[in-house]
Amino acid sequence: MKKVIYSAFILLLFGCGESAPSKQKIVVDGFAQGTTYSVVYISKDGVNYQRAIDSTLIAIDNSMSTYQKKSLISKFNQSDSTGVIDQLFADVFMISEEVYEATNGAFDPTVAPLVNAWGFGFENLNSTDSSTIDSLLHFVDFKQVQSDDKGLSKSKKEIMLDFNAVAQGYTVDVLADLLEVRGIQNYLVEVGGELKAKGLNMNDTLWRIGIDRPLPNLKEREIEAIVSLDNKALATSGNYRKFYEKDGMKYSHTINPKTGYPVEHNLLSVTVITDNCGYADAYATAFMVMGLQDSKDFLSTHKELEALLIYSDKNGDLQTFITDELKNYIELNPDKK
């Protein structure tokens, strides 16, 4: 599921006083994976790691970008049965497999043909009807892709992978690891709205993250909540920005891999907080497929995940569900106070 929903953005609150010479804020930002990225860290030596960051981003694109014809994932998608993978690809495949199993297939990277068919993928089809969807469903099943020491194999040549719903979160984790092996203990890494924070900012306080109010066509961003991240990763998914209308119908970018159709329910936005951003990213997508009640039930038995679910009630008003632990680190409707 191509996800270009960037519903979390960064509120970096730095003081205006002078800092000690040994404490410097370094910012590295730019464009990657069809979106923006920002790496902010507190340094004692002032070393800028942009070259290492850019090299890492290029390596991930060469492995998993469906928009690069020579990437490993593109070669696998174009192959009849097998493909070569690297460690980056293997890591994301493992995350995807775990979340696929845990959510009973709500998260499924082989949904790529359906995403393309509905006009949200890397190969958009000219038309979509029930017969097209029914035929494509035969090629949507992550169990039909196997990984071993030799690489990947698939049972049908038409099967394609798309890691866009997990790769940005995984990229955040890789960049965070890059900083940590260099001794950086205070940082905020963000790629396309998915992020991970550790330590403290220049104010010696926790990094504060703003979560958008999930309403379409807003002239300016409105904040629904602010979360203080304490050595955690955060990812958000939603349907309020990425959609299109045709013949009077509104089509969401989140495709249910079991039905083949865009989801239709009252869950508007999901923010997941956990230790690793790749998992947060994948689970946020899965919950958007599962809907409100199934997501709440899942969260009740998976305490390693914290979440903010924003949904509309029968009157069309916004409501929120917050897991218990997260209530200690979240501030709702800050602009209404």
Q: Is 204 left (phi over 0), alpha (psi -120 to 50) or beta?
A: left
Q: What is the mean predicted confidence (pLDDT) over 199-226? A: 87
Concatenated DSSP letters of 272-285: EEES-HHHHHHHHH
16 to 3, 83, 117, 202, 321: CA distances (angstroms): 36, 53, 51, 10, 36
Tokens of 320: 């929120």
Greater model confidence, 110 or 217: 110
Task: Report pLDDT for 221.
Answer: 75
Please give the pLDDT value at position 188.
98
Give yes or no for a contact between 318 and 224, defined as CB atoms under 8 angstroms apart: yes
Query: Is pLDDT of 50 > 80?
Result: yes
Residue 205 has pLDDT above 80, yes or no: yes
What is the share, in percent, of the chain residues with pLDDT greater than 70?
Answer: 85
Q: Is the pTM of this model over 0.85?
A: yes
Is the CB of residue 172 less than 8 Å from the CB of residue 277? yes
pLDDT tens-place string over residues 100-126? 999 999 999 999 888 888 776 555 545
Query: How many angstroms separate the most distant Cα atoms in the chain?
Result: 66
pLDDT of residue 21: 54
DSSP state of 247: T
Mean pLDDT along residues 165-186: 97
**CA–CA separation, 150 vs 55, rounded Å?**
26
Q: What is the mean pLDDT of residues 4-31?
A: 62
pLDDT band at 84 (very low <50, low <70, confident <90, very high): very high
Buried b (16+ CB within 10 A) or exposed e, 263-285: bebebbbbbbbbebbbbbbbbbb
Residue 318 has pLDDT above 60, yes or no: yes
What is the C-alpha to C-alpha distance for residues 17 and 169, in angstroms, rounded to an integer? 34
Measured CA to CA, the distance from residue 86 to residue 124 in angstroms comes to 28
Q: Of 53, 327, 331, 1, which Cα lies nearest the Cα of 190?
A: 53
In this prediction, residue 110 carries a pLDDT of 96
Compute the distance between CA of residue 12 and CA of residue 188 in angstroms, rounded to an integer. 9
Q: What is the pLDDT of residues 268-282, one digit of tens each?
A: 999 999 999 999 999
Q: Of 129-143, 233-247, 274-288, give the range with the top mean pLDDT.
A: 274-288
**Taking residues 319-329, what's their average pLDDT?**
96
- 187 beta partners: 41, 198
Q: How far apart are the first and last CA of the chain?
A: 36
What per-residue confidence (pLDDT) applies to 240? 60
* pLDDT confidence band for 15 (50 / 70 / 90): very low
Percent helix, percent strand, percent coil in the chain, to nearest 5: 30, 30, 40
Instruction: Round to whole Å and give the CA distance between 252 and 242.
Output: 7
Mean pLDDT of 5-32: 64
- Crossing angle of helices 87-102 and 167-180, in 10° steps, is 130
Among 81-90, 202-211, 313-322, the least confident range: 313-322
Which residue matches tokens 């049972």? 155
Residue 14 has pLDDT above 50, yes or no: no
